Amino acid sequence: MRGKALRLYRSFVRRKLWVILFLLLLLFLLSLLSLSLGAAKLGPGTVWRAFFSKILPLSPPDRLSEVIVWELRVPRILMAVLAGAGLALAGAVSQGLLRNPLASPYTLGISSAAGFGASLALVLGLGVVGGEYLVVANAFCFALLATLLVWALGLKKGMSPESVILAGIAVMYLFSSLTSILQYAAEPRALQGVVFWLMGGLHTATWEGVMPVLVLFLLCSPPLLGSSWDLNAMAVGDETARSLGVNVRRVRGMGLVLLSLLTAGIVSFTGTIGFIGLVSPHLARMLVGGDHRFLLPCSCSVGALLLLGADTLARTLLAPTEIPVGAITSLLGIPFFLHLLLRKRRDYWA
């Protein structure tokens, strides 16, 4: 039958678009739900009036609920969505660039370097800038330093995936051992701060944090999403990609820098939230397959959903006590992920 492959492919593409649309709708609904849940027991009516009082000419129900909705819940939800989407995108791109299902922004040493920067500020009060942004700025600068190290080491070896991965792992161990030394020497109060930072969480999310992360996301994600074809070509192998006109070294180098920048920005504000960057791309791959044109946006949606869901649970399950969100993502996510992994019949990477 003529055109059979074409018809199959068209419906395959349509299905993938529907999946992504459905995830976005789900994300919207979850955001609404998350907005109306919290330690302060505000009724849905109060929440909605407080929410719309800033947008529509309505009077807010009272000052407190306005503050809770606009200064606590909205920035936190935005941060969860941005951080989830950003970490998942960075994970999907790093897996594609390095042709390795175990790659994630964290295996490139970014988070452990950020952790060291933050610890340095928390324990010794040392940092690149003083004041209230000491910890954030320190984390960010050290994350960039790690990126630079990995990039330079990789470049020396022609940007082969293996050299980048090994360089990333070496940098990761270097900074985690430095952090351990700091923790060993730290005062109990400072140590507590370091432990909390390393666990990661969104409880510190404010508008001052959301804005820079949003800007970074808007700057880094278009070129990363735009490299989909290059990533697809590189999946088949560097030589094939080069014969298809892809400048493999440049794409890999630029991609690493962009995804590191994005991760560094997120991690500096949230601490190290594990699992999202590694697993979201795999979940997305099970949903839409490996074509990066669909995989990257789908990973973003999955990551945002996962982190927003986990954070909503983290702040409501034992309210007013918070559970560290990193613990939730791993505890609930890993069994779910393993279930999918064992159930799926198609083995994309083997």
Residue 56 contacts another protein per CB under 8 A: no
- CA terminus-to-terminus distance, the chain: 32
Residue 340 contacts another protein per CB under 8 A: no
Residue 18 contacts another protein per CB under 8 A: no
Quick one: which segment of 30-38, 141-149, 241-249, 326-334 binds another protein (CB under 8 A)? 241-249
In sequence order, what are the residues at sequence separation of 6 or more whose Cβ sits closer than 8 angstroms to the Cβ of residue 134? 121, 125, 127
Nearest CB to another protein, comparing residues 42 and 284: 284
Taking CB atoms within 8 Å and a gap of at least 24, the contacts of 65-70 are 65/40, 68/38, 68/40, 68/42, 69/35, 69/42
Least separation, in Å, of the C-beta of 193 and another protein? 41
CA atoms within 13 A on the CB side of 137: 10
User: Binding residues for another protein, how many (CB under 8 A)?
Assistant: 36
Q: Closest Cα to residue 45, out of 53, 12, 19?
A: 53
Q: Hey, how many other C-beta atoms are within 10 angstroms of the C-beta on 203? A: 15
Length of the chain (residues): 350
Nearest CB to another protein, comparing residues 5 and 342: 5
Residue 17 contacts another protein per CB under 8 A: no
Q: Pattern of binders to another protein over 91-130, x per CB under 8 A?
A: --------x-------------------------------
Residue 242 contacts another protein per CB under 8 A: yes
Least separation, in Å, of the C-beta of 158 and another protein? 12
Report the alpha-carbon distance of residue 179 to residue 118 in Å, rounded. Answer: 9
Least separation, in Å, of the C-beta of 242 and another protein? 5
Least separation, in Å, of the C-beta of 160 and another protein? 14
Residue pair 87/329 in contact (Cβ under 8 Å)? The answer is no
| Both structure tokens of 251 | 């794409």
**DSSP letters spanning 27-80:** HHHHHHHHHH-SSS---HHHHHHHHHTTTSS---S-HHHHHIIIIIIHHHHHHH
Q: Rule CB under 8 A: choose which of 107, 119, 232, 270 binds another protein.
A: 232
Residue 254 contacts another protein per CB under 8 A: no
Residue 9 contacts another protein per CB under 8 A: yes
Least separation, in Å, of the C-beta of 218 and another protein? 19
Least separation, in Å, of the C-beta of 225 and another protein? 10
Which residue carries 């601490």 as its tokens? 271
Let me know how many helices (H) and strands (E) the chain has, helices first: 15, 0
Residue pair 106/87 in contact (Cβ under 8 Å)? The answer is no
Nearest CB to another protein, comparing residues 132 and 239: 239
Q: Rule CB under 8 A: choose which of 161, 212, 253, 289 binds another protein.
A: 289
Residue 343 contacts another protein per CB under 8 A: no
Residue 2 contacts another protein per CB under 8 A: yes
Residue 188 contacts another protein per CB under 8 A: no
Residue 185 contacts another protein per CB under 8 A: no
Q: Rule CB under 8 A: choose which of 39, 229, 327, 332 binds another protein.
A: 229
DSSP state of 133: G
Binding site for another protein (CB under 8 A): 2-6, 8-10, 12, 99, 226, 228-229, 232-233, 235-237, 239-240, 242-247, 285, 289-291, 293, 346-350
